[in-house]
Chain A
């Protein structure tokens, strides 16, 4: 196992190196730079001033030099300084990371709490009304666009219930109640598709297991249906479910971009979008890299957990 993790970490490093180049070059391909952003529309600017600004941001250097500067910074653990805010990128990310992490965790937790029981019930009562309802519900959950769901929820709450979540962001530790009222709608939106996915996979796995020999044996031995389903079947179906749930975390991390935009939450996703529009290269580059590291770490953790849960799986490099 250790060997496997080491190899994975090594290949992660290679991937990240590739990613740095990809992100770096892609950013430079977008027309316009931070200089035009800074100058603004109504401005009267001399070419000398533009040149000075370009020099200031190092935009006059050849790309490979800019790239190697960034890399050497990264190698020293320096994510760089944001051009538009003048703050260290690390500080900006850390400021916003709790929002994104909380949002993702709430969504995943909700999805698991809803998805797994729904899947179990659906499988146990195959082709009953409950099953059909769950399946249709799951399909709907997969089909609803996150942002539309968000808009509709806001519409419903603000107009019909005359209520809306507080706008001023507060973190969980300052005011947990207020924080959770802010987070509940976004988390529902973000988690819906995941809940649907988890319900579907749970149902499929449970059906698989329920069909298998030993469950039939267990049933034949006269164990109650409830016991069979919960104790034996679920235990065996759990492995693929955990995997899917793990992968969902990664997908949700991407989904936060949209949800944060709809609910205007100060998270990392919106930071990335904003930085792209502002042409704040250091901020975009390093934040995307940071998200990638998070994303890959989660995926690695899922794989390791998978191996742990199911000792039959052997890892090879």
Chain B
């Protein structure tokens, strides 16, 4: 299963990085002799209303999806991880303050929060990044804080502290490695969900803006062509599913490997 996931994920990454080489056409090249053409020899996935090649657009669309998912998840892990680590380790007022703020962000349903933030920042790829980062930061903070709380009470940490190590060194060098695995597992799960959330935002017109192709906005554009040219929306939908499935499989595999309790 993990292998299948890894192959799928690799394919998506290769698509994103090698789009310029792989795609048969530039994503915004219009061909007025080939409008809304069925999938066939000239266009494997068919073409859209501008005569643009759907396959090429799906390939380029991987870029937006991965860019948003990678940056937002990484940023959220970094920021949320830092908050969670310090909150769990330092405790006291700082912990309290972070918890309070986190509670505010946890108080509305996640997707609604993401949609709200993106709508407020105005549509665009970076709005999606900001929205998902803000959505995920408290999540990662919480996932980090719990184990840190448990771990800091353990004897070895006290021993190291007694040997005169600074708090920072203790936190980064000794605490962190021991609480990292659930954090990473959560990371892969969040990553695959980020692809879905980005697609939802794109679909609502809040992420990548046309003519930049993204899977979500292709679906949105293709929606009015469902009857006459279903291929415009079928293929990007399949791409989303494959990508999310692949990273989910990897996440499952990682969980099994890192987290023996599950």
Q: Do chains A and B touch in the complex (CB under 8 A)?
A: yes
Q: Which residues of A contact B (CB under 8 A)?
A: 11-12, 14-16, 18-19, 22-23, 26-27, 29-31, 139-140, 142-148, 151-152, 154-155, 158-159, 204, 250-251, 253-255, 257-258, 261, 269, 272-273, 276-277, 288, 291-292, 295-296
A144 contacts which of B112, B230, B241 (Cβ < 8 Å)? B241
Contact A254 B199 (CB under 8 A): no
Q: A145-B196, A155-B226 are in contact. Are A296 and B116 (CB under 8 A)?
A: no
Q: How far apart are B207's CB and chain A's nearest CB, in angstroms?
A: 13
Query: How many residues in B have their beta carbons less than 8 Å from beta carbons of A?
Result: 41
A30-B122, A143-B245 known; A151-B219 Cβ under 8 A: yes
Whether the pair A31, B110 counts as a contact (CB closer than 8 A) is no
Interface of B is mostly: helix
* Contact indicator A26/B226 (Cβ below 8 Å): no
Inter-chain CA distance A19–B105, complex, in Å, is 8
Q: Of the candidates B104, B192, B240, B241, which one forms a contact with A18 in the assembled complex, judged by CB atoms under 8 Å apart?
A: B104
In the complex, residue of chain A having the shortest beta-carbon distance to the beta carbon of B109? A254
* Interface presence of B87 (CB below 8 A): no
B29 at the interface (CB under 8 A from A): no
Main secondary structure of the interface of A (DSSP, over half): helix
The reply to whether A154 and B226 contact each other, CB–CB distance below 8 Å, is yes
Does B248 lie within 8 Å of A139, measured CB to CB?
A: yes
CA distance A253 to B107 in the complex (A): 12
Known pairs A145-B241, A295-B107 / 13 extra A-B pairs, C-beta < 8 Å: A11-B103, A16-B107, A19-B107, A30-B122, A151-B226, A152-B234, A154-B226, A159-B227, A253-B112, A254-B113, A257-B115, A258-B204, A291-B112
Most buried by A among B104, B199, B230: B104
Q: Which one, A11, A27, A139, A148, contacts B237 given CB within 8 A? A: A148
Alpha-carbon separation in the docked complex, A132 to B117 (Å): 39
- Evaluate contact between A291 and B108: CB separation under 8 angstroms: yes
Beta-carbon contacts under 8 Å, B206-262 to A: 216, 219, 223, 226-227, 230, 233-234, 237, 240-241, 244-245, 248-249, 252, 262
Contact B262 A19 (CB under 8 A): no
List, in ascending order, chain A residues with CB within 8 A of B262's CB.
204
Expressed in whole angstroms, the Cα–Cα distance for A271 and B216 within the complex equals: 22
28 contacts between A and B (CB under 8 A): A16-B107, A18-B100, A18-B101, A18-B104, A19-B104, A19-B108, A27-B120, A29-B120, A30-B119, A144-B244, A145-B200, A145-B240, A146-B200, A147-B200, A147-B203, A148-B199, A148-B237, A152-B237, A155-B226, A155-B230, A253-B112, A254-B112, A255-B109, A257-B111, A273-B204, A276-B120, A291-B112, A292-B107
